[in-house]
């Protein structure tokens, strides 16, 4: 077994048996009898424990002579958005008033229940609910841009003004005619080598960038809605394409700095901590104690660490570069395995 993996072998084998997606990216299982290596969530037949060897990365498995599994495709991005889902989202983005029914899905050889499950798992709503939120979000932007409420309603597929008003208020928690005074919060989702990430942006900049499996993500989203006094909807935003582009460049080792406008929502102390985080150079690390000293209060180690944990914008505000005084990796909302991966990537690409 690869010595860099801190997960007990029994735990990894149990994850392999249960096809546990929560262990995606943490290890790869190589099968001695077949000469292939797999993701933890692979659906292929499971081997006996004595026939499994574990590796931290696909590269290590291939160097040891193993081939990638054709079932789970371990060299592809983990939890990548399926092509048919990506196509549906693009179609809805381009035509928010469009209503794609279960009948329409079947006519495209897509199983409605599978589509429904994917959206529930990844967006917390059904496919029909996702479409409804997209229409509301588009109408919200139309009204903010000067359209009358009745025009926004009919242009986004609503047959009556009363039905639109009811649906809008139910989903947005405010009346359509209040839209002009509310900031627009929009989210998107994209894949990375470390799993899918969610981005939330206003018209002024990015206010959240997180791995979608972070346990605190739901709390972070609620805090954003409370801070901005507005709801978060799926949809388009002028910063999303550039965010995904710059993140892809970062993961490829071709970008060391980001220039996306960031909107930091927090206390003044938290903002001061996040500003200091942004001063840590690419490929370098800094201790929590040093962070506190730079804040002007060497005793504020715990407070600085807590502020690190409240950071909503992963990687671009590099809290992964902060480590323990003794050099140990501690405290990262995206998981310590991701923290190590990011630090190793940056050191390798210096």
Residues marked as catalytic:
319
CA distance 129 to 135: 10
According to DSSP, the residues that pair with 185 across neighbouring strands are: 232
CA distance 32 to 21: 22
The structure tokens 């931290």 sit at: 56
Cα distances (Å, whole numbers) of residue 129 to 112, 116, 138, 167: 13, 9, 14, 11
Residue 312: alpha-carbon gap to chain centroid: 11
CA distance 278 to 319: 8
What is the DSSP secondary structure assignment for residue 78, as one 8-state letter?
T
Residue ranges of alpha helices (H) inside 184-311 are: 217-228, 240-251, 268-277, 288-294, 301-309
CA distance 100 to 116: 12
């Amino acid at each position: 077994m690869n010595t860099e993996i801190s997960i007990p072998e029994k735990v990894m084998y149990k994850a392999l048996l249960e096809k546990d997606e929560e262990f995606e990216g943490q290890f790869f299982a190589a099968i001695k009898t077949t000469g292939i290596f797999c993701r933890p969530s692979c659906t292929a037949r499971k081997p006996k424990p004595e026939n499994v060897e574990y590796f931290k990365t696909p590269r290590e498995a291939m160097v040891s002579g193993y081939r990638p599994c054709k079932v789970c495709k371990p060299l592809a991005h983990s939890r990548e958005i399926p092509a048919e889902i990506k196509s549906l989202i693009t179609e809805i983005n381009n035509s928010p008033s469009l209503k794609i029914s279960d009948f329409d899905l079947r006519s495209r050889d897509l199983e409605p229940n599978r589509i429904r499950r994917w959206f529930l798992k990844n967006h917390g709503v059904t496919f029909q609910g996702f479409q409804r939120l997209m229409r509301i979000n588009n109408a919200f932007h139309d009204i903010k841009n000067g359209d009358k409420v009745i025009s926004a309603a009919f242009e986004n597929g609503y047959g009556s003004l009363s039905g639109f008003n009811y649906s809008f208020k139910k989903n947005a928690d405010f009346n359509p005619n209040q839209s002009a005074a509310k900031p627009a919060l929009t989210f998107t989702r994209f894949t990375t080598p470390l799993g899918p990430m969610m981005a939330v942006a206003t018209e002024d900049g990015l206010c959240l960038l997180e791995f979608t499996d972070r346990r605190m993500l739901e709390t972070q989203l609620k805090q954003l809605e409370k801070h901005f006094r507005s709801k978060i909807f799926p949809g388009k935003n002028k910063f999303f394409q550039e965010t995904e582009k710059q993140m892809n460049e970062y993961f490829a080792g071709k970008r060391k700095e980001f220039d996306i406008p960031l909107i930091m929502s927090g206390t003044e102390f938290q903002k001061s901590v996040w500003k200091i985080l942004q001063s840590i150079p690419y490929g370098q690390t800094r201790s929590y104690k040093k962070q506190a000293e730079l804040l002007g209060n060497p005793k504020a180690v715990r407070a600085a660490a807590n502020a690190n944990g409240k950071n909503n914008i992963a990687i671009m505000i590099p809290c992964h570069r902060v480590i323990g005084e003794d050099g140990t990796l501690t405290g990262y909302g995206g998981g310590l395995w991701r923290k190590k991966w990011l630090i190793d990537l940056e050191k390798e690409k210096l």
